[in-house]
Structure 1
Amino acid sequence: MEIRHATNPTDVKTYTTERLRKDFLIENLFQTGKVTMVYTHYDRMIVGGAVPGNEPLEIEAGDALKTDYFLERREIGLLNVGGGDAVITADGESYELGKLDALYVGKGVRQLIVSSKDQANPARIYFCSSLAHATLPTRKVLISEANPLHLGSIETSNERTIYQYIHADGVQSCQLMLGVTRFKPGSVWNTMPAHLHDRRMEAYLYFDMKEETRVFHFMGEPSETRHLVVGNEQAIISPPWSIHSGAGTSSYTFCWAMAGENYTFKDMDVVPMADLK
């Protein structure tokens, strides 16, 4: 498990492109036959990817967490982002996930195993895990069951649907919120005006992108914006003090996950366009 420490926004103003990518971009989450994880000190979220090939893979605590098992003091949301169907087994109970189906697993589950239904077509499983203070039931949610919010327009190049899976009015958690945003063809902007939520961090996974396309992810304080060029199936750690906005060279999909002080999707401090620099 890779460990990434929190950064000071004043220091980030001096970062080179290389340093920005090193601290905030996760490039190689999906490796066949492996579970890959990054532990960020922003709200102690763990961002991970798993591609189970010929053998199932177990999501384990390892030495980094100093706990007996991964979900001893944590909860987790898992999303199938591509490939074939996934099978997630939580303490012997199995759940099958098609593409864009998700699973919430609560604190106290001792064994979490991911596998592919068809080994010749491995699933690509993305997950985010945050600290938990209570035990809540495991819940599967199909994309057809997620709460859809239709936003934007083709005129402003941001016509999109936000699918809410783990949130206050859906699958319950202690603090983790997770969903997916999908863009209509011809729309590329998410989202302007930009916003902050200083009470929680956010992680993004950009996916369903063609190899030759890119997303320009904008970050930083409103008065000191920076950008990262992001490819398919790469993730971003977004600090609470940073905007998180993007524009693609083509339409794309991303998974967003949040953890922190509060538990409301609407906690956003919108930044007027005139204040962005």
Structure 2
Amino acid sequence: MSNDAEFTEPARVSFRGHGGITIAGDSWGPQDGPLVVFLHGGGQTRGSWKDSGLALAKAGMHAVLLDARGHGDSDWDPDGNYTREAMVEDLIAVLRELDQPAFVVGASMGGLTGLMATTHPERERITGLVLVDVVPRPERKGVERVINFLSSNPEGFASLEEAADAVAAYLPHRRRPRNPEGLQRNLRQRADGRWYWHWDPAMMGGPRDGRGEEIDVHTEQLEHAARQLTIPVLLVRGALSDVVSEEGVAAFRALVPHADYTEIGTAAHTAASDANDEFTDAVVDFVRAQVGGEGR
């Protein structure tokens, strides 16, 4: 077990992703600990996993938190290539550089990337998979609500308070913070003085994974990937989620009968940040169960 005083700050790292895109990340914990790579959801950053990174470091694990292409400190693709295929190639490129079998933890968009990466020719680089509030058969209305939020306010916000109002409307189950300064992690102030989300608007410019009729097409691909899973799998659902229903969970568990499952009663689609301690405990227990013992 690591000393709790160790690894209290991450090391900044970067990787060369698909097409030369720079993928930014944070590295927490001992380099020789079990490797756990975190992939955030659409419109988020690696900062969403900060508390998890620290907790895994204290448990003797090596957590690598990544910004997806077009998000946070990672490069925006000059050609606007934000397909799932490109994100899978980014993940595999990172795992090549790390050169160690990894557990992959993915929320929403990141979970879909992780699931599809298990069909890649180099899938042996993934030793376990944690899917955070994402399944092959999501609820259409919930998916559309997420996409509508990501597509909204292309003209930016006049103030952080205005951005906080937008977030509060999107996440009504959370208490609106009194001080919106924390939103600066997810916003960029441009020369015009307005605040804009950190992600590349080109992500929402064309046909998107999971939108409209494409939901059914991608469901078939994702269910095919799920059927092939032989590695350890943990599905985490927020009980308040409007994206993953109990029916969606049942359909997934029928495809992957060996999967572990946990539900977080106080969480919605943003399960990891809604109830971080409970979520992180589930991930630590899952990894420990696979590697055997108590970490370091």
TM-score (norm 2): 0.25
Q: From the two aligned structures, give the one with the greater helix fraction.
A: 2
Higher relative contact order (CA 8 A, sep 6+): 2
Q: From the two aligned structures, give the one with the greater strand fraction.
A: 1
